Amino acid sequence: MSRYWSDIVSKLRPYVAGEQPRIPGLVKLNTNENPYGPSPKALEAIGQAADERLRLYPDPAATELREAIAARFGLTAEEVFIGNGSDEVLAHTFQALLKHDLPLLYPDVTYSFYPTYCLLYGIEAIEIPVDEQFRIKLSDYDRSCGAIIIPNPNAPTGIGLPLAEVEALLAAHPDAVVVIDEAYVDFGGESAVPLISKYPNLLVVQTLSKSRSFAGLRVGFALGQRDLIEALARVKDSFNSYPLDRLAQVAATAAIKDEAWFETSRRKVIASRKSLVGELDALDFEILPSQANFVFARHKSRSGAELLAALRERAVLVRLFAKPRIADFLRISIGTDEECARLVSALKEILAA
């Protein structure tokens, strides 16, 4: 450890992103990307904007994109905040809204970036255990807190929290900011966006990485009443005045407007998830009920590490997490039907050995 490091840097446990290896013919089901590719209209918009105008700085307020998102969700542009992926939106959220005298609450099985942000910003957090079925139990959040963050559907379990429960949480904690991280909501979850007008303490975070197939573009956004959005803008403008480059702004605007592409792609993923669950069930996996573009499953007799390694030998990549409670679960992103078929045939071969 360097003697030049500050205390905070020494204590950080940085997030480890899923691998992006270059293995020819790889079936890549490890980082929840969408297998179908972004809207052709969005790609066209990038082509049209890639010219000498790139010498100019982008619109620091991402006005057109914010207006397009606002129109899509029935909000005003002042209720929309934009960032480089929802990871950056979350980073600003942790810094601007989640540090209080009272602790932040989040589930113990959840998105592993949350503890990292807490360390980075010196936020005291209490991890609330999920129950035996890996569900979030609302009554466990019945304690004093400064803020709460919950992914819905949860990651990496894929389990959704019904909207009525999200509303109960908001109503029970009027003085705490409640952040609902909806990275995966478009694959069957219930969005909390309709509650924004009623609850000034609600911030909803979404991304274009999953249902709009733009993980490579890095665009995420937060929706909430003006007060919360203003806090995020204050932090962003104290850090980096350009949330998105020019190409990302035009592409994301076109992607948000292309509702037909979005619908087709998310429906295909949901249908493939249903058939993959059937196949895994037949192979003796325990599968958590998923409302996301991945499934979280453990085999009844083989370890997660063994399956991960054997799949990798067959050029199929899935994800495993180090946390003891979920150590045998494979998180499998939903690919095309051909990719899912290759996963299933690899598993059949491994389990027959």
Q: Does 186 bind ligand PMP (CB under 6 A)?
A: no
Neighbours of 119 (CB within 10 A): 15
| 13 vs 348 by CB, closer to ligand PMP | 13
How many residues bind ligand PMP (CB under 6 A)? The answer is 12
Cβ atoms of residues 347 and 283 within 8 Å: yes
From candidates 77, 163, 215, 235, binder to ligand PMP by CB under 6 A: 215
Q: Does 191 bind ligand PMP (CB under 6 A)?
A: no
| 111 vs 296 by CB, closer to ligand PMP | 111
| Sites for ligand PMP among residues 123-182 (CB under 6 A) | 151, 155, 181
| 86 vs 265 by CB, closer to ligand PMP | 86
For tokens 């733009």, the residue is 214
Taking CB under 6 A as the binding criterion, the range among 84-92, 117-125, 239-247, 298-306 that sits at the site for ligand PMP is: 84-92
Task: Name the residue whose CB lies closest to ligand PMP.
Answer: 85
CB of 111 to ligand PMP, least distance (A): 4
Cβ atoms of residues 164 and 138 within 8 Å: no
| Residue from 167, 214, 231 nearest 193 by CA | 167
Q: What one-character-per-residue DSSP string does 226-287 give?
A: HHHHHHHHHHHHTT-S-SS-HHHHHHHHHHHH-HHHHHHHHHHHHHHHHHHHHHHHHTTEEE
User: CA dist 267 to 6, 188, 192, 276, Å?
Assistant: 48, 9, 20, 14
| 302 vs 321 by CB, closer to ligand PMP | 321
The residues that bridge with 27 in the sheet, in sequence order, are 316
Binding site for ligand PMP (CB under 6 A): 85-87, 111, 151, 155, 181, 183, 207, 209, 215, 220
